[in-house]
Amino acid sequence: MKVYKSIRPFIIENPKAQFGKNQIFVVLNNKVHVQGRAKSLKYEVFSTIMSMGVLEETEVSDEFIRENVILTEEYQSIRKVLGNAKKKLPQYSKIFKTIGTWAFSPKGSSASKIEDETVFQSNPEKVLKSTVLRDGMKAKPGDAVMNRGALRHGSYVTEEEEEMWANDDTTILPYGIRQDDYASQSEQVKIFTKLIGQVCSMEDCPQDFKDFFKNEMGVVSKNVPLRDYLPSIDRKTRKSLGYSKLYFKDFYKNQHHSKENGLELCHIDPWQDFPTNVDNITIGSSEANRRQGGYPLDVLKESFG
């Protein structure tokens, strides 16, 4: 087994793909596994990447490889359950897409795409001349963190690397995913299982939905209905109305750029170094998430009562 690390972000043309900085590549039994990617690379594609001079040999622990690079049976199994759910219960396809995104994908960003990088590399100065990296006032185009398409166990970007990216005039490609979004494969499995359990505990969760996940995963709904993680507030009296129930039907309010997002993946303490973990996430209403305002719940209670 040989292990390599990317020294900078890069793109390849065939097949079209982009890679981040510090992304780990593991060559094992004529297969090339890549951190944060669902499929292995063909060896001839890896040979092309090697010829580009963007990888260097490195060492990482077996645990790191198991959690972040080579897909585990447990991880593949849970992704297969989600895929089967989409096929057998297509009427809930939007809900499955939302849950799958929450469990396995980082948040979106304004990161540059492959086409943007191709244009940039053809004439970097044309792109940079109006930015603060030259004599202009504009920020460097793109973003240090990746857009949708990456997986939660991909290489993540530290605060220092975000600053480094902002001053890097060799590329506009992102370096990796947000550190806040990172979760190992085993953690993603736990998160998915918890989310499914919470959905099954919603008072109006359809029986066929609950039956499917009981049979596939042994998930059993709780005897008490799922409630929001912050109490609702009466705007006139400004008094607490208690913890409102969360409903399955509220998933249908979740539309891209909608002003009325019903349910969201919420972090109890967003200030943790790695906040996306099973003990720190919950389904909540978008209203509660907005009122939380990026504060840990304990800080919110201490500061505002």
Q: Where are the domains of the chain?
A: 2-68, 114-181, 185-304
Closest C-alpha to 232, from 304, 289, 300: 289
- Which residues pair with residue 55 across a beta bridge? 6
Amino acid, res. 259: K
What pLDDT score was predicted for residue 259?
A: 57
pTM: 0.93
Class of domain 2-68: mainly beta
Q: Which residues contact 230 (CB under 8 A, 6 or more apart)?
A: 243, 284, 288, 291, 292, 297
What pLDDT score was predicted for residue 34?
A: 97
Closest C-alpha to 216, from 251, 233, 238, 192: 192
Three-state DSSP at 166 gives helix
Amino acid, res. 253: K
Q: Cα(247)–Cα(102) distance, rounded to whole angstroms? A: 17
Q: Which residues contact 13 (CB under 8 A, 6 or more apart)?
A: none
Classify residue 121 by its DSSP letter: H
Mean pLDDT, 10 residues at a time, over the chain (305 residues)? Answer: 97 92 95 94 95 98 97 97 98 96 92 94 95 94 86 95 96 96 98 98 97 96 93 85 94 70 93 97 95 90 65
What pLDDT score was predicted for residue 233?
A: 83
Q: Cα(227)–Cα(233) distance, rounded to whole angstroms? A: 14
List of long-range contacts for 26-34, beta carbons under 8 Å, 24+ apart? 26/1, 26/2, 26/65, 26/69, 26/70, 27/1, 27/2, 27/3, 28/1, 28/70, 33/65, 33/69, 33/70, 33/71, 34/69
Classify residue 256 by its DSSP letter: T
What pLDDT score was predicted for residue 210?
A: 97
Q: Cα(177)–Cα(25) distance, rounded to whole angstroms? A: 16
What pLDDT score was predicted for residue 44?
A: 93
